[in-house]
Chain A
Amino acid sequence: MPAGGDSLRIAVDAKDYPGRPPKAVLRAIRLEVPRHQVVALVGPSGCGKTTLLNLVAGLDDRFTGTIHRPPGRLAVVFQNPRLLPWRTVAQNLALALPPDTPDLDGRIDAMLEAVGLAGQRDVFPNHLSVGMQRRVAVARAFLVEPALLLLDEPFVSLDAATAERLRDLLRDLLARRPATVLLVTHDLREAIALADRLVFLGGSPAGIIRDVAVDLPRRDAAAVEAFHRSMA
């Protein structure tokens, strides 16, 4: 795919945390993600993956370099679902879209149906399990039909079965409505199961140490396991 205005282009020369002396977190990161490619950012905990994601999300502009985001909306599934606890599930979704969106209720219902939460429309998030709250966060992200979707360890601290169901859900949603995706994870198997391409962050300050295409026709457990072994 040719490099165009539709791709995500990250050029972070330096990102430091303030302090005396400042702590260098990221150095010389160059990454281009073509339209609709799913890239997993893999690396050990605390290496700066989430920091990089916040830069890409535009939530932190204290760095040197440039980030070009594809035109269109941005959505983020944060590590914590970050739902408004004082608003119902449906209200949480509605707030992500402009109030004059045509057929807002219909779109919300369809999205809740798609993530298997059709009956939970008017429930407050605190009354849902953690796995269900994550699904609401995923629903909110897809509801805005993002051009760029950022996922920050979206399935961390879930039991294996729930995490697996959520991964399937994410694959389904992406198949129905593709987006350029940057997924942060420390779980290599999860990365292989979801991504077209693995980008490894490492070192201190962190840089890109490896960039691997995942070319798997099928993403069942055996295929993921085989690819995982082949990488060692």
Chain B
Amino acid sequence: MIVRLWQHGVSLALLIAVWQLAASFADLRELPPPLSVARAMVDGLAAGEMLHHVAVTLARVAASFALAMVVGTAVGLALGRSALLDRLFGGWLLFFLNLPALVVIILCYVWFGLGETAALTAVAASKIPNVAVVMREGARTLDEDLRDMARVFRFGPWRLFRHVVMPQLAPFLLAAARSGLSLIWKIVLVVELLGRSNGVGFQLHVYFQLFDVTAILAYAMAFILVVQAIEWGILQPAERRLARWRR
């Protein structure tokens, strides 16, 4: 554990060193050194403005993530448990899976107007097929032997769900959540850039027009820090908890 942490530290330091080296070599406004970016980030956070936009984006990510997980899981389980549904609608899934997120976003804005509903729907809709595909796989691998055991010992529907089905789906849920989060972050930014007047994506757009690379990188950094915090604070502990019973 300590050694791993150490290696992570060295790897990160190396990345910053390369960046610093390139920045001082180029000596351009378009490639600011790490320290300027860090200062811009701290200033932005202190001013409260950056915090506001990050929070707005975070809220959009949370809402569309929850929506995508719930709908995607329901669709995936239905397709995974019913061969008929899978034959009928499996092809749809493939279609939506290959539909570019940008197309979904534009269509949502055109159909529902430049509002919050359209933004959240667009993000969730781009992610639902991925969640559904992963959860369909999970539903297919459910253990029939354990289900029979649960029947013999009269588990009832709630205990069956909580103690037999959910633990088997948990790794798939976690995989879907992890890949979902990393995708949704990115789509939310595009949605904000195209049709919202706040959030990190909107700010990036503003600074792009000003050609302010330092501010853009500062926002990107703040963003990466939040994602890492979620990874370390929520996803990894959840994963460890789920893996306790393994040999």
Chain A residues within 8 Å of B, Cβ to Cβ = 54, 57-59, 73-76, 78, 80, 82, 84-87, 91, 95-96, 98, 124-127, 140, 144
Contacts and interface: CB of A to CB of B under 8 A. Distances in A.
Nearest to B146: A82
A126 B246 CA distance: 7
Interface string B148-172: 1101111100010001100100000
B245 interface: yes
B86 to A, nearest CB: 20
Contact of B245 (A74, A95, A124, A144): A124
Contact of A74 (B152, B167, B242): B152
Contacts of A124: 244-245
A76 B152 contact: yes
B146 A59 contact: no
Nearest to B246: A126
Given A84-B163, A84-B167, A95-B163, A76 B149 contact: yes
Given A82-B145, A124-B244, 14 more contacts: A57-B152, A58-B151, A73-B154, A82-B146, A84-B163, A84-B164, A84-B167, A86-B245, A87-B163, A95-B153, A96-B153, A96-B154, A125-B245, A144-B153
A80 B148 CA distance: 12
Nearest to A96: B153
Interface in B111-164: 145-146, 148-149, 151-155, 159, 163-164
- Bin the interface of chain B by size: 10 to 19
Contacts of B247: 126-127
A140 B153 contact: yes
B245 A75 contact: no
Contact of B151 (A59, A73, A91, A127): A59
Contacts of A57: 148, 152
Nearest to B143: A82
B227 to A, nearest CB: 28
Contacts of B163: 84, 87, 91, 95
Binding site secondary structure of chain A: loop
Contacts of B242: 86
Given A59-B151, A59-B152, A95-B155, A84 B246 contact: no
A58 B150 CA distance: 12
Interface string B207-223: 00000000000000000
B28 to A, nearest CB: 55
29 contacts: A54-B148, A57-B152, A58-B151, A58-B152, A59-B148, A59-B151, A59-B152, A73-B154, A75-B152, A75-B153, A76-B149, A78-B145, A78-B149, A82-B145, A84-B164, A85-B245, A85-B246, A86-B245, A87-B167, A91-B163, A95-B153, A95-B159, A96-B154, A98-B154, A124-B244, A126-B245, A126-B246, A140-B153, A144-B153
Nearest to A150: B152
Given A95-B159, A126-B246, A126-B247, A86 B149 contact: no
Contacts of A58: 151-152
A80 B167 contact: no
Contacts of A96: 153-154
Contacts of A73: 154
A94 B151 CA distance: 15
Nearest to B167: A86
Contacts of B152: 57-59, 74-76
A86 B247 CA distance: 11
A54 B149 CA distance: 11
A54 B151 CA distance: 12
Contacts of B159: 95
A99 B134 CA distance: 33
Nearest to B166: A86
A230 B216 CA distance: 90
